Structure 1
């Protein structure tokens, strides 16, 4: 298969704008990592008019997809979990061209996973986790037990990704196999939810209680990225100031849910300042001292 694709990637490799080429083959009948294509060609470039360009091919009853991605966009995907398959492509892909060891250095950065990037990823997953968990509680209280169950499953998935990041690894598509190796507490929650013989309502109720305890115990560490931003100035922040902060943008959609949860757990405090309206106050936020 590689021989058939060689003319395509060799043309790209001869371009000085190309930094590296990886080949990812489909290893089983159902292959989410390759979108069920027989092979993926990942071509990393310095610059491009389109940061992400995709072409599909067919040959000898086989299919292939070529993804041409800029270095900047690929890094953004990895830092913010923007396109999860990209991690698997870099980890499991066969390197067939590497200009000046660019891919080797990139993989080394993945292995190192520096704390500042780890804290951002934790904040992103924590925001999704809190929103999903809050939805599950609301649905349970509304007696929508099947929908509550679905949201709890999503919550546990975000919790699993958070657990993997806490241990210094990038979450992969097969995140539960990772969690089983490194965080049995979180894995057992999922195992108990899926394998329990309790009626659905009882299963969801018990899992909401158990999940709340686990989230609460990890909240301050998981939200460190946001809390550090809040602590970066002496006075309180308005919601608008936080939402528009460039470092918050990767999890801005979940910011309201995060702040509400952190207030509930007394990790963030509110301050009220007067407005022109009688009895109406601006609400601002500070974080408790370390």
Structure 2
């Protein structure tokens, strides 16, 4: 496969804007990493280049995918964890070309997992966890068992990734294989939800109770990034100010529900301000003194 892709690698390596090239070959037991392609080429280019460029190739019965990603977009992938395969590609890909040790330094930086980046990733996973948990609970109360089940499975995935990040690891595609060795409590919840012979409503009821405790235990880790950003200025923030802040933009549509959850947990305080001549008040948010939970 490498010989088949050599001309493509040479073409990209000759370009002055190329930082590095990685090749990821399909593993028999783990085809998901390459989306069933026999190989994936990840070409990392400078931030002035197009964010993402894709091409597919084939030779006889073999096929390959080319991803050309600029360093800004790659960093976004690594922070947001989407696509999740990006972590596997960077850590486990075979280095084909590495200008000025770019890939080696990138890997070293990722292995160190800087605290600020870790806090942001925990915050994003926590926000997604809250979204799935609250929606799953609402669907359970409405007796929509299968829809509730779907949301709770996703909630457990976010809880698993949050747990791994808190331990200092990047969540990989095989996240449950990682969690099994790190947090038996979370893994057991997942096993009981998908493998128990109890009726589905009973499984969901027990999971919701257990999840509430685990989510409560994760509040400090999941909210630290948001709270640090909000402390950057005196006074309270409107939700619009928070959504527009570049460090909070990655929370996307899950920001509002996370903020309201943290108000309930008394991590944040809701401050009401009059809007003019009517009785409607606008809500602003600030970090509670002492950040009570």
- TM-score, length of structure 2 as denominator length: 0.95
Cα deviation, residue 60, structure 1: 2.5
Distance across 1 between alignment mates of 2:263 and 2:281: 17
Match of 1:176 in 2: 176
How much does 1:175 deviate?
A: 0.5
1:99-178 mapped onto 2 (5 Å cutoff): 99-178=99-178
Alpha-carbon shift at residue 220 of structure 1 (Å): 2.2
Match of 2:220 in 1: 220
Distance 1:212 1:176 in 2: 20
Q: CA deviation at 1:29?
A: 6.4
For 1:108 and 1:29, the matched residues in 2 are separated by 28
Q: Aligned to 2:95, what secondary structure does the other structure show?
A: strand
Alpha-carbon separation, structure 1, partners of 2:191 and 2:277:
53
1:173-209 per-residue CA deviation (whole Å, 9 max, x = no partner) reads 1100111121112111111212222110010011011
Aligned to 1:210: 210
The answer (yes or no) to whether the contact 2:275–2:282 under 8 Å persists in 1 is yes
The residue aligned with 1:243 is 243
Aligned length: 290
Higher mean displacement: 134-143 or 226-235:
226-235
Structure 1 residue 200 and structure 2 residue 200: aligned?
A: yes
**Aligned mates of 1:275, 1:15 — CA distance in 2:** 56
**Structure-2 residue corresponding to 1:71:** 71
Q: 1:123 deviation in Å?
A: 0.9
Alpha-carbon distance in 2 for matches of 1:131, 1:56? 36
Report what 2:95 is aligned to: 95
Structure-1 residue corresponding to 2:187 = 187
Task: Give me the whole-angstrom Cα distance separating, in 1, the residues matched to 2:128 and 2:47.
Answer: 31
Residue 24 of structure 1: how far off its partner (Å): 0.6
1:12 pairs with 2:18: no
Gaps of 5+ in 1: none
Alpha-carbon offset, residue 15 of structure 1 = 1.8
2:31 is matched with 31
Q: Quick one: distance in 2 between partners of 1:30 and 1:90?
A: 16
Task: Give, in angstroms, the shift of residue 120 of structure 1.
Answer: 0.6
Q: CA separation in 1, counterparts of 2:285 and 2:253?
A: 18
- In structure 2, list runs of 5 or more residues that go unmatched: none
Structure 1 residues 246, 40: closer, same or farther in 2, change over 3 A? Answer: same
Distance 1:242 1:47 in 2: 26
What stretches of structure 1 move > 6 A for 4+ residues in a row? none
How many angstroms does 1:48 deviate by? Answer: 5.3
- Report deviation, 1:128: 0.6
Could you tell me how far 1:106 is from its partner in structure 2?
0.6
d(CA) in 1 for partners of 2:79, 2:222 = 15
Shift, 1:289, TM fit: 2.3
